[in-house]
Amino acid sequence: MTKIMLKVKSSDGKAFWERHPAHPGGELFVAGDQVKPAARTRAVSTALKSGRLVEVKPTRRKKKVEDAEDATEKA
């Protein structure tokens, strides 16, 4: 099953919870501003379509110039 990152987008502030073996640890609980890894189960897909959950695209951290310079000096 596809792994995605999710957060709650709910005007009522309710958390989303589901037990399913495809989720990391077999369970998904997302509340507040948390971003959690999840499997695209039927319940997750339904919550995404209804707007209760939102998929969060992973962001890539930019390596600092200083870190790159340090790595170059050590090489």
**Tens digit of each residue's pLDDT (9 = 90 or more) over 16-71:** 999 999 999 999 999 888 899 999 999 999 999 998 999 998 776 655 555 555 55
Per-residue pLDDT band at 3 (split at 50, 70, 90): confident
> What is the DSSP secondary-structure string of 26-46?
GEEEE-TT--EEEE--HHHHH
The whole-number pLDDT of residue 67 equals 56
Give residue 74's Cα distance to chain centre: 35
Domain-wise residue ranges, the chain: 3-74
The whole-number pLDDT of residue 14 equals 85
The whole-number pLDDT of residue 22 equals 95
User: Is-above-0.85 flag for pTM?
Assistant: no
Residue type for position 3: K
